[in-house]
């Protein structure tokens, strides 16, 4: 396993943009959010993130995205 693969690019509190090619059900309320939690996936050798998206009508809801689906906002 490459340590580079498992290095998180973002930390809790960072603002990130979700790639607009990502589709979800229900639809995303926004494509900008704040990282709430970093979640390493050792089986997939990747990093995931729980985000709170701006303008979400359910402010306590978190959305999960993989690192390659995010860019800095």
Assigned domain for 44 exists: yes
Model confidence over 7-65: pLDDT tens digits? 999 999 999 999 999 999 989 999 999 999 999 988 889 999 999 999 999 989 999 99
Range of the domain at 23: 15-72
Assigned domain for 61 exists: yes
Assigned domain for 5 exists: no
Q: Concatenated DSSP letters for 3-50?
A: TTTT--S--TT-EEEE-TT---SSPPS-SEEEEEEEEEETTTTEEEEE
What pLDDT score does 72 carry?
98
């Amino acid at each position: 396993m490459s340590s580079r693969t498992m290095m998180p690019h973002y930390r809790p509190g960072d603002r990130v943009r979700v790639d607009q090619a990502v589709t979800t059900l229900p639809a995303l309320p926004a494509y900008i959010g704040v990282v709430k939690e970093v979640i390493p996936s050792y089986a997939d050798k990747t990093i995931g993130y729980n985000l709170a998206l701006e303008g979400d009508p359910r402010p306590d809801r978190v959305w999960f995205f993989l690192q390659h689906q995010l860019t800095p906002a």
